Chain A
Amino acid sequence: MQKTFVMAAMLAVASTAQAADNADLAAIRAQIDEMKKAYEQRIAALEQKLAQAEARGTSTPAQEVAEPSQPALAAANSFNPEVSLILQGQYKNMKDVPERSITGFFPAGIYDQGNGAITGISKRGFSVDHSELVLAANIDPYWRGQAIVAMVDGSAEVEEAWFQSLGLGGGVGLKGGRFRSGIGYLNEQHPHMWDFADAPLMYRAMFGDEGSYVQDGAQLKWLAPTDTFVEIGTEAGRGAAFPGTDRNRNGRGAAAAFVHVGDDVGIAHSWRAGVSYLTTKAKEREGNLEDIGGVQTLGRFTGDSATWLADFVWKWSPNGNPQYQNFKFQAEYFNRREKGDLLCSDMDSAHPTACGGGVNSLYRTRQSGWYAQGVYQFTPNWRGGLRYEQLDSGQRDFGANAANLMLTDYRPKKTSAMIDYSWSEFSRVRLQLAQDKSILGIVDNQLTLQYVMSLGAHGAHKF
């Protein structure tokens, strides 16, 4: 092949260079000879390489070189986002309490007194939680997006829908849209990641039955360039969620800030601690209160709400390998101050109360609470856990309304024990027994049998 090419080249040279004299011809011949030599050397080298490769091929195991790396699929749907779906539901056995308010705490919203008023948390027997559909993908080299849509009978709710920066640099992260606020520890976690079947009382008292604070706004975080984890974050949002209300105004409705610190201790231990602050405002925030006669009245709070949170998580596993055994301890504390006015009036004219047509007074509260829990995974499939929680109705100054409203000092308490079994990372069933004393005068022994299943993309979970 090479030789015929060289011959052809020679012929071509000969025919076109008739005028060339002998000296020129000699020069060309020399050149061609050189080319020939070079080619022959290269061919020899290639042949040698081939022989070597063949020799190595026969000395390697007879097993066929298994499937080579798959070429990237070029299908258009390869740009589809990562999709996962969370299925969650339970069987609950507990007392028939239509309104599961926490005694001594301003409830997040008024209860519907009508038929079928029992909402998620109070549902007895079998029930299905909302199914969470998670869609996430990188938008471009600079941004990532995620949406979580919660579907229940007849409605779909956007739980989260946010974008996150990938390329700002300097340890800065920006998030915008609707997202779970970075305050506290449990707040960012979705129910399927919880270690117990329900949110701690503290989260229900702080943020209502959903047990988390969701911002419509923006979050700016900065991670310090140190070997110890130090993260500072700040958020500005609409502030429509309890303990604030939607106030139809320009500017921010709620602001939050948090600091997280964490590290490892040896190979086996890691921890994270944090302090957070949330400030928001409420305008005519409605909630059920009880008058001195025990009749439901309607309270409307207008004023400022400020919450401090402290959180601590500590995890242990032998050699830092959580696969077989691990232990997790977590505790959080909150302290909330609310200051403003309270308008108390009858819920409806059929049930007159001490507040009558409406009594306005000042409203000042300072309330707190905490929980602590430990979860031990003793085999790859089984975990057991205990949680204790306590709230304090604290100081409450209702001014003129103090004479109209039932103001019992109370410390709601709850103790829960759970055991769960996981077939794999993606499926879990849990049995939880709890003694709930969050309502004055009721000791409610609860049994929950719950399942949590995740389908689809393998999402990474936060620490």
Chain B
Amino acid sequence: MKFCIGIVLAITALSAQADLKVFATVPEWGALAREIGGDKVKLYTATNAFQDPHRIEAKPSLLAQARQANLVVAAGADLEIGWLPLVLRDSGNPAIQLGQPGYFEAATYVNRLEVPTVVDRVHGDVHAAGNPHTHLDPRNVLKVAEKLAARMAQLDAANATVYQAGYAAFAAKWQVAIARWEKEAAPLKGIAVLVHHQSFIYLTNWLGMKEIGALEPKPGIEPSSGHLTSLLVRQQTMPARMVLRTAYQQDGPSQWMAGKAGIPAVLLPFTVGGTPEAKDLFGLFDDTIQRLLKAVR
């Protein structure tokens, strides 16, 4: 016992940190921390673009990383509810607990969509705080970037100017890019789409596209043949132009729908790393818009 405490003290004393250790739950917010902090950030991203962030488990490797983190950057709005609370509590790291400066939730700083008025699981796996996939509206990314830069500067005061400068450079480039994307995406306005899961509401809302249905009968419930058939029947009266899915969702249901309805099934990168082109946040939106444009052509 005394031995244990001795080790704890020795290691805590040794690990005078050189970098800000960031534990990002999802690739998009990890990429943003990298844009702001550059090489001052030691980044660990808990999931990749091929993993459904709802369904990750509290793996030993995640606990080991959370133990050492100075800042946890989460999507929030209950996206990580199945694993992150446990990882935080069992990490023995007081700096990253809820309510501490070392815990940052992106969803807190944006206007969330699809906030349910009735919270009942009869509607599937609904999130009481609204749809958590906020990053696909680039204006949200900018809002989060400002708050995240401030938080990073607060936690690592020695490098505060680096983070503020990193944010300023990113924001300038990002605003130019938003203008470009909005111009490029003009033909997408008013296009009706089906989605596998409600992963794209912020994207479709931003671009003025119309999300007219989901392949999942309820959020988090797998597509059933009955539900797909009813969507197909509805195509007669309310046609969708394409079916959207993320890199981590099975392609079967959207391929089926696309084949029967004669519309393209579109895989969008959804997050950084979801396609080879989506190497960073800029690439994510560039590629997303190119893929959407290709589908309406």
Asked if A and B are interacting partners, one says yes
Task: Give A residues with C-beta under 8 Å from B.
Answer: 59-63, 65-70, 138, 141, 144, 164, 166-173, 220-232, 234, 260-264, 267, 270-272, 315, 319-324, 380-381, 423-426, 458, 460-463
Q: Which single residue of chain A is at the shortest CB-CB distance from B47?
A: A320
A211, B213: Cα distance in complex, Å: 47
Q: Is the CB of B97 within 8 A of A166?
A: yes
Also in contact, A267 and B48, with CB within 8 A (given A70-B129, A262-B61, A426-B121): yes
Contact with A along B96-115 (1 / 0, CB 8 A): 01110000000110111111
A69, B99: Cα distance in complex, Å: 18
Also in contact, A458 and B248, with CB within 8 A (given A164-B89, A323-B55): no
B207 to chain A, nearest CB (A): 7
Also in contact, A322 and B57, with CB within 8 A (given A67-B113, A425-B220): yes
Q: Which single residue of chain A is at the shortest CB-CB distance from B9?
A: A170
Given A164-B89, A321-B51, A322-B57, 10 more pairs with CB closer than 8 A: A59-B182, A69-B115, A141-B97, A171-B91, A172-B92, A222-B4, A262-B60, A264-B61, A460-B81, A461-B57
- Please indicate the chain A residues that have their CB under 8 angstroms from the CB of B98 in the complex: 138
**Which of B62-70, B234-242, B258-266 lines the interface with chain A?**
B62-70
Q: Is the CB of A461 within 8 A of B60?
A: no
Report the contact-size class of chain B (Cβ under 8 Å from the partner).
35 or more
Task: Give B residues with C-beta under 8 Å from A.
Answer: 1, 4, 7-9, 11-12, 15, 47-48, 50-52, 54-61, 63-65, 67-68, 78, 81-86, 89-95, 97-99, 107-108, 110-115, 121, 124-125, 129-130, 182, 189, 205-209, 220-222, 248, 250
Also in contact, A63 and B65, with CB within 8 A (given A144-B89, A225-B15, A321-B55): no
Q: Is the CB of B1 within 8 A of A223?
A: no
A128 to chain B, nearest CB (A): 22
Q: Is the CB of B58 within 8 A of A462?
A: yes
Q: Is the CB of B86 within 8 A of A222?
A: no
A228, B61: Cα distance in complex, Å: 6
Instruction: Provide a sorted-by-A list of 19 A–B residue pairs whose CB atoms are within 8 angstroms.
Output: A67-B111, A69-B129, A169-B95, A170-B8, A170-B9, A171-B92, A172-B92, A220-B1, A225-B11, A225-B67, A225-B68, A262-B59, A270-B57, A272-B60, A315-B59, A380-B222, A458-B78, A458-B81, A460-B83
Q: Is the CB of A320 within 8 A of B12?
A: no
A66, B108: Cα distance in complex, Å: 16
A45, B124: Cα distance in complex, Å: 48
How many contacts A-B (CB < 8 Å)?
Answer: 178
| B interface SS class | loop
Q: Which of B52, B56, B60, B68 contacts A263 (CB 8 A)?
A: B60
A170, B8: Cα distance in complex, Å: 6
A115 to chain B, nearest CB (A): 42
Q: Is the CB of A168 within 8 A of B51?
A: no
- Please indicate the chain A residues that have their CB under 8 angstroms from the CB of B57 in the complex: 270, 315, 322, 461, 463
A260, B130: Cα distance in complex, Å: 37
- Please indicate the chain A residues that have their CB under 8 angstroms from the CB of B111 in the complex: 65-69
A141, B64: Cα distance in complex, Å: 22
- Please indicate the chain B residues that have their CB under 8 angstroms from the CB of A262 in the complex: 59-61, 64
Q: Is the CB of B221 within 8 A of A424?
A: yes
Q: Is the CB of B182 within 8 A of A223?
A: no
Q: Is the CB of B93 within 8 A of A169?
A: yes
A172, B12: Cα distance in complex, Å: 12
Also in contact, A62 and B60, with CB within 8 A (given A171-B67, A321-B55): no
- Please indicate the chain A residues that have their CB under 8 angstroms from the CB of B1 in the complex: 220, 234
Q: Is the CB of A229 within 8 A of B63?
A: yes
Q: Which single residue of chain B is at the shortest CB-CB distance from A422?
A: B222
Q: Which single residue of chain B is at the shortest CB-CB distance from A82?
A: B85
| A interface SS class | loop
A63 to chain B, nearest CB (A): 6
- Please indicate the chain B residues that have their CB under 8 angstroms from the CB of A230 in the complex: 64
Q: Is the CB of B124 within 8 A of A424?
A: yes
Also in contact, A168 and B94, with CB within 8 A (given A227-B65, A461-B57): yes
- Please indicate the chain A residues that have their CB under 8 angstroms from the CB of B90 in the complex: 173, 223
Q: Which single residue of chain B is at the shortest CB-CB distance from A171?
A: B92
Q: Is the CB of B130 within 8 A of A70?
A: yes
- Please indicate the chain B residues that have their CB under 8 angstroms from the CB of A225 in the complex: 11-12, 15, 67-68
Q: Which of B51, B60, B220, B222 contacts A319 (CB 8 A)?
A: B51
- Please indicate the chain A residues that have their CB under 8 angstroms from the CB of B108 in the complex: 69
Q: Is the CB of B51 within 8 A of A169?
A: no
Q: Is the CB of B92 within 8 A of A61?
A: no
A155 to chain B, nearest CB (A): 29
- Please indicate the chain B residues that have their CB under 8 angstroms from the CB of A61 in the complex: 189, 205-209
Q: Which single residue of chain A is at the shortest CB-CB distance from B114?
A: A66
Q: Is the CB of A232 within 8 A of B64?
A: no
Q: Is the CB of A226 within 8 A of B55?
A: no
Of the candidates A223, A234, A319, A424, the one having the most CB atoms from chain B within 10 angstroms of its own CB is A223
- Please indicate the chain B residues that have their CB under 8 angstroms from the CB of A424 in the complex: 121, 124-125, 220-221
Q: Is the CB of B94 within 8 A of A70?
A: no
Q: Is the CB of A458 within 8 A of B82?
A: yes
- Please indicate the chain A residues that have their CB under 8 angstroms from the CB of B207 in the complex: 61
A24 to chain B, nearest CB (A): 45
Q: Which single residue of chain A is at the shortest CB-CB distance from B50?
A: A319
Sort A-B residue pairs by CB-CB distance and give the 5 closest, nearest first.
Answer: A262-B60, A61-B208, A229-B60, A171-B92, A460-B86
Q: Which single residue of chain A is at the shortest CB-CB distance from B112?
A: A69
Q: Which single residue of chain A is at the shortest CB-CB distance from B206?
A: A61
Q: Which single residue of chain A is at the shortest CB-CB distance from B68?
A: A225
Of the candidates A63, A225, A264, A267, the one having the most CB atoms from chain B within 10 angstroms of its own CB is A225
B123 to chain A, nearest CB (A): 11
Q: Which of B55, B92, B129 contacts A221 (CB 8 A)?
A: B92
A100, B99: Cα distance in complex, Å: 50
Also in contact, A270 and B92, with CB within 8 A (given A69-B111, A225-B68, A424-B221): no
A190 to chain B, nearest CB (A): 14
Q: Is the CB of B94 within 8 A of A320?
A: no
Q: Is the CB of A63 within 8 A of B89?
A: no
B84 to chain A, nearest CB (A): 7
- Please indicate the chain B residues that have their CB under 8 angstroms from the CB of A69 in the complex: 107-108, 110-112, 115, 129-130
- Please indicate the chain A residues that have their CB under 8 angstroms from the CB of B7 in the complex: 222
A462, B97: Cα distance in complex, Å: 18
Q: Which of B85, B89, B93 contacts A171 (CB 8 A)?
A: B93
Also in contact, A321 and B248, with CB within 8 A (given A424-B221, A458-B82, A460-B82): yes
Q: Which single residue of chain B is at the shortest CB-CB distance from A229?
A: B60
A284 to chain B, nearest CB (A): 31
